[in-house]
Amino acid sequence: MKNRSIFLFFLFLCAISIQAQKPIPGQTPRYCNPLPIETGQGGQAAGDVTVIRENGTYYMYCTGGGAWISDDMLNWRFQYVENVPVAPHVVKYKNNFYMCGNDGPLFKADNPLGPFTKSGDWKDTPGVGQGWNGAFDVDIFIDDDGKPYLYYPGRGVSGIFVVPLDTNDLTRFAGPVKHLFGFDSNHLWERYGEMNEYPDVAWIEGPWMEKYKDTYYLQYSASGTQWKTYAEGYYTSQSPLGPFRYAPNNPLLRKTEGLVTGTAHGCIVEGPDGNLWRFYTIVLSNPPGGRRIGMDRVRFDKEGNISVNVTDVPQWAPVKGLDTENHPTTSLPLTINKFRAMNALSKVSSEQSGHYAAYAIDNSSGTWWEPAETDSLPTLTIELSPATRFDVVQLFEIDSYRLLFNRGWTRGFGRGTFTPDIYQYKLEASMDGKTFTTVVDETGNTQSRNTIFGEIPVTPCRFVRLTITNRPRNTPLGVIEFTVFGQAKGSLPAQEPIPSFAHSDSR
């Protein structure tokens, strides 16, 4: 009995030691959509994303050229890669890496960064079967038994097709083409248009096959990649060739308001934390067709339904050993629409007609703040608290920020003339609107990005100030969105004088 008690106590200690750790704001890494991905010579991540994992390193391929490399799915560095097509798809098969894209040949390499050389073309292969007229948004899926399958969409409302591939030559079909499903007008989210107003028009595209346990999850995108209603759905089957059943919780991803909209056409990959993560395209309001990349956690319920909660505020990074389920992040946007009469002390150094300061904090990718061309140090100061005589003076603790610039949203592909998207700036915080303390200093930044997310040391705050100290000079400066995140921490009575300092307990 004594030995049994000792053994049970030992198991108890082991359970404590392996218990997931609680994430800590300011110490545990976070991410925020759209993802801050480096731009490079001949490439920017502009949607249609495929991510693969090889020996613990992640490789991202997007429309926009090149590849991006990361060890943690947070920090992505650009690497130029030859022959990257529109809507690239990369898969590893028998120790080689195959890349294909819109209406193009199949390329092959012995490593994820190439060089990729032409392996063959399905349309040139004899006996490919009836129904093959070229394809776009292709997806090669390798089943557990090593058998490869090609999934691809037709044009418009045609839907998704599949064909088995030759295990010895991926450019050859190993069976007939099979149609799996087409556009269904009863699925309102599939309909074309910004309000899904076209009952007879749709583009069914962007397939991605994922197998989880014994179920095949065939994901697809619909409405059209130019709309904010662009969304993701899925069908399920017990076989890679079907028949497939429309999932009851569709659409899988859909968001039409805010900075993260038009969420579709992506992939699933296992993260460093051992969980599955969904990467997806984000369709911007401006300019038409402008796009970025997002990612969020994949979950399965007890009935086997897949779900993804699309996020646009800071989230815990995919770090192994964290208890993120029981300790979600609590940071909220604090700056949205704080350039109004009730925030009377918000101010700007300059603004152009039609591109007002308020557009930098309106939670929309379709508008932006553009300072005067002669403004050498554009500055935007935001009062976070409502300041009417009827309201308490709300105080906050800020902990992170996001910046989106309108430069480079739709720059062309290739290795032509390239000016890095290097923005240098600083963020300051204040309790009285007079004395400011620098909380973020990026005045020496050398990284090329037009989307930025960063942490701020947890700071009591009533005012925040953004100052752009340097930026690319060949185009006007446009700040699409400046968001500061945090949470409320106390208040002062209405009509209370602005304090020079306020104490707030740490989280």
Which pLDDT does position 345 carry in this prediction?
83
In this model, does residue 158 exceed pLDDT 60? yes
Confirm if 387 and 341 have CB atoms less than 8 A apart.
no
Which pLDDT does position 124 carry in this prediction?
62
Confirm if 383 and 454 have CB atoms less than 8 A apart.
no
Name the nearest CA neighbour of 365 among 403, 413, 411, 401: 403
136 phi and psi, to 5 degrees? -135, 170
Q: Which pair of tokens denotes residue 446? A: 């050398």
How many Cβ atoms sit within 10 Å of the Cβ of residue 11?
A: 10
Beta pairing, strands 205-212 & 451-461: unpaired
Which pLDDT does position 42 carry in this prediction?
61
Provide the percentage of residues in the chain whose pLDDT is more than 70. 87
More confident residue, 251 or 421: 251
Pairwise CA distance, residues 249 & 234, whole Å = 9
Which pLDDT does position 95 carry in this prediction?
95
Q: Which pair of tokens denotes residue 202? A: 């749709």
Q: pLDDT averaged over the chain? A: 88
Pairwise CA distance, residues 373 & 479, whole Å = 14
Specify the range with the lowest mean pLDDT, choosing from 112-116, 221-225, 373-377, 498-502.
498-502
Please work out, in degrees rounded to the nearest 5, the angle formed at the alpha carbon of residue 383 by the alpha carbons of 377 and 386.
Answer: 160
Which pLDDT does position 15 carry in this prediction?
44
Domains of the chain in start order, with CATH, are 24-316 (2.115.10.20), 332-492 (2.60.120.260)
Specify the range with the lowest mean pLDDT, choosing from 119-133, 136-150, 174-188, 322-336.
119-133
Give the mean pLDDT of 281-302: 88
Give the mean pLDDT of 377-397: 86
In this model, does residue 249 exceed pLDDT 90? yes
- 99: CB partners within 8 A, 6+ apart: 61, 83, 84, 85, 88, 89, 90, 106, 107, 108, 109, 116
| 437-485 confidence digits (pLDDT tens) | 999 999 999 999 999 999 999 999 999 999 999 999 888 899 999 999 9
Which pLDDT does position 12 carry in this prediction?
44
Name the nearest CA neighbour of 294 among 400, 451, 103, 432: 451
Name the nearest CA neighbour of 276 among 252, 248, 257: 252
In this model, does residue 412 exceed pLDDT 60? no
| 15-49 confidence digits (pLDDT tens) | 444 467 888 877 899 999 999 999 877 667 788 99
Q: How confident is the model at residue 421 (pLDDT cuts 50, 70, 90)?
A: confident
Which pLDDT does position 408 carry in this prediction?
54
| Gyration radius of the chain's alpha carbons | 25
Beta pairing, strands 437-442 & 479-492: unpaired
Which pLDDT does position 182 carry in this prediction?
97
More confident residue, 451 or 410: 451
Sequence length of the chain is 507
Which pLDDT does position 20 carry in this prediction?
73
In this model, does residue 274 exceed pLDDT 60? yes
In this model, does residue 178 exceed pLDDT 90? yes
